[in-house]
Structure 1
Amino acid sequence: LEQGVSLDNDGIPKISTMQADLLVNAMANGMARVATLQYTNSVGQARMRWLDVHEDHHHLSHEPDNNADAQEKLVKINVWLCEQLAYLARKLESIPEPGGQGSMLDNTTIVWTNELGKGNSHSLDNIPFVLLGGGLGFRTGQAMQFDNVAHNRLWLSVAHAFGHHIPVFGQEKFCEGGALALS
């Protein structure tokens, strides 16, 4: 760890950059093909003071929808997380693949998600998923909404894109309708 980088909440911005750089370097050097980047944990109590958010993220996520102050702070947090995702994507895009076959981003798929659709109700409905990169041949540059569709079908689509034509991912009842048409 670089000198001066704290291992507490205030160090998260620098640690985020360091982790993304490490992830990209490991992939570029063939040391990893799959990686996970997670910011704290669901009950980690992160306080994002660099965003002028002094309450912990977990507590804010449980506030009612009509708490405008909490919702504004959650938007700030999500914008910051999106900026971290953009940083990672730009790093991948900046590295050419051998033989001129595009960039690492062209041959990578990033899945960005949250564990819940709504923190205040612990809903598993409408969980947001963002897919970036061209690694699995999915159509990009679009926003899609799948009402009342279990996210198991998304993971089934990812498995199929990797060449694993499994009939279900997780519980069979959540895979009715099969893989999603994403390519």
Structure 2
Amino acid sequence: MKFITKKSIPRRTFLKGVGASLSLPLLEAMIPAATAMTKTAANPVKRLGYVYMPMGCDITRWTPGSEKNLDTLSPILDSLSPVKDKISILTNMELKPAYPGSHATSNSAFLSAARAKVTESTDYYLGTTADQVAAQHIGQQTQLPSLELAMDLLQTVGQCDNGYACVYQNNLSWSSPTTPLPAEAHPRLVFENLFGEGGTPAQRQAALRKRASLLDSVTEDMRRLKRELGANDREKLTEYLDSIREVERRIQKAESDTKDNPLPDLDRPTGVPAAYADHARLMFDLQLLAYQGDITRISTFQLARETSNRSYPEVGVATPHHPLSHHGGNAEKIAQMAKINAFHVSLFAEYLEKLAATPEGSGSLLDNVLILYGSGMGNPNNHDHTNLPTIVAGGAAGGMQGNRHITYDKPTPLANLHLTLLDKVGVPIESFGDSDGMISELFQPLSM
């Protein structure tokens, strides 16, 4: 590790150790060394995230009670109350390219706004997704151009939905119309991808056996760095490393719990928490750490695959999600589906609160990110793609004004939102998918 002066540390400084390479959060000591290519507190790094909720929702329990603001949050969105000043809800967004309605096209069109080729074979064809458009423009500035995460470890193959290959449901991100990017659902593998130094799985495991924690190997480098830092930076660095250690501890506990279980779960390999919420929180925390260390500025996260038959006993839902989504108007099934919707949103709300509590520059990580949370399906019982559940979260880095409910009189392309968010993180393009304009309301001053 090389330092310029006690007051001038390069933004891309790493802590090095055996099998470890840890990037650092933005420190005060880095700001004097800023150049035109280095973002400071006055000119912050901008990030773009996407979180996918499968199989639509009960829109009656989703839509806020007020037409203009979020003063009256709906039952599904109630957990977002602590961060409502940093979110906006958009009503009547549409994905025309997802028709004819299907689960496969709900997932595939969500980030591409493109029509999937009907095929059950390997000649699939879609479009470059919004996250990868961003990655091509700003992703090369970081260790990882983008980060693709999911919750389902087993990806299906072959034909999954009405003549569509399973690849359309498995993958949110496509770097080209013929190149889907597989997502990783295993916390240990994501952790090592973010903080490990590479090598084969066998080499990484050998390095792990030599130490209790990945952080153990950077202890000496960390001591040297702390001698170069002021009190505020030492505290910030300690908190960052403590967060990494806590995530690693939770991964290790999941590995130990699985190893000690005499009844192996073939769907849950070693290292994946048994409870859905614990697994999801780990994946959200890994995204936070990736942003905080500027390891990547672009991430996608699939909360579950379309047609997922996962049940959610944690919130009293024993019936699998997919059958519930085909509720046929049954009030009890709709209520159960809404519980799942609310559960997913609550985990997202926890993530936003953690981003808001993580300082960066003159604000927080949440100030410096724009995140789209939503689904490619509206009413799952009808397999329609109109009136999509859509949330945008984030802050002043993109100039977004929160605490608002934006309602359109007629269906508006979700591609307009993609075009707008790309523009706000420094990726100005003329059009995207079936876009026909920008969503300027998100970034206009709030009216009195």
Q: Normalising by the residue count of structure 1, what TM-score does the alignment of the two structures yield?
A: 0.88
The amino acid of 1:35's aligned partner reads: S
> Displacement of 1:9 after TM fit?
9.5
1:8-35 deviations in Å (ceiling 9; x for gaps)? 8952111011111111111111112111
Structure 1 CA distance for aligned equivalents of residues 428 and 281 of structure 2: 36
Within the candidate set 236, 257, 273, 1:4 is matched to 257
SS at structure 2 position matched to 1:25: helix
Separation (CA, whole Å) in 1 of partners of 2:346 and 2:280: 11
1:133 paired to 2:394 = yes
- Aligned partner of 1:162 in structure 2 is 425
Q: Whose radius of gyration is greater, 1 or 2?
A: 2
Cα deviation, 1:42-61, whole Å, max 9, x if unaligned, reads: 12211111111111111111
> 1-side partners of 2:349 and 2:300: how far apart?
16
| Whole-angstrom distance in 2 between the partners of 1:10 and 1:109 | 30
User: Among 347, 363, 372, which residue is 1:102 paired with?
Assistant: 363
**Which residue of structure 2 aligns with residue 60 of structure 1?**
324
Q: Does 1:29 align with 2:293?
A: yes
The structure with the greater share of residues assigned to strand is: 2
C-alpha RMSD of matched pairs (Å)? 1.8
Where does residue 175 of structure 1 map in the other structure? 435
Q: How far, CA to CA, are the matches of 1:110 and 1:54 in structure 2? A: 30
Alpha-carbon distance between aligned partners in 2 of 1:37 and 1:43, rounded to the nearest angstrom: 17
Cα distance in 2, alignment partners of residues 20 and 162 from structure 1:
21
For 1:41-120, what aligned pairs fall within 5 Å after superposition? Answer: 41-64=305-328, 66-98=329-361, 101-120=362-381
Q: 1:37 aligns to what SS in structure 2?
A: strand
> CA 1:54 to 1:9, structure 2 compared with 1: closer, same or farther past 3 Å?
farther
Identity of aligned residues (%): 25
* CA pair 14-166 structure 1, distance change in 2 beyond 3 A: same
Instruction: Work out whether residues 311 and 320 of structure 2, in 8 Å CA contact, stay in contact via their aligned partners in 1.
Output: yes
Could you tell me how far 1:95 is from its partner in structure 2? Answer: 0.9
Q: Distance in 2 between matches of 1:149 and 1:129?
A: 12
Change over 3 Å in CA distance of 1:76–1:45 after alignment to 2: same
Contact 1:110–1:131 (8 Å) recurs in 2:
yes
State the alpha-carbon separation in 2 of the partners of residues 109 and 81 from structure 1: 19
Distance 2:426 2:283 in 1: 29
Distance 2:291 2:428 in 1: 25
8 A contact 2:370–2:421 mirrored in 1: no
Evaluate the alpha carbon distance shift between residue 55 and residue 9 of structure 1 in structure 2; reply closer, same or farther with a 3 A threshold: farther
**Cα distance, 1:122–1:10 mapped onto 2, change above 3 Å:** farther
1:19 pairs with 2:245:
no
Please report how far the alpha carbon of residue 162 of structure 1 lies from its aligned counterpart in structure 2 after TM superposition: 2.1
Supply the distance in 1 between the matched residues of 2:274 and 2:320 (Cα, whole angstroms): 12
Letter in 2 for 1:141: N
Q: TM-score, normalised by structure 2?
A: 0.38
The CA distance in 2 between the partners of 1:96 and 1:9, in whole Å, is: 28
Change (3 A) 1:82 1:27: same
Aligned to 2:413: 150
Following superposition, the deviation at residue 69 of structure 1 comes to: 0.6
Paired residue type of 1:110: I
**Paired positions, count:** 176
Q: Partners of 1:40 and 1:132 in 2: how far apart?
A: 20
Q: Which residue of 1 aligns with 2:64?
A: none
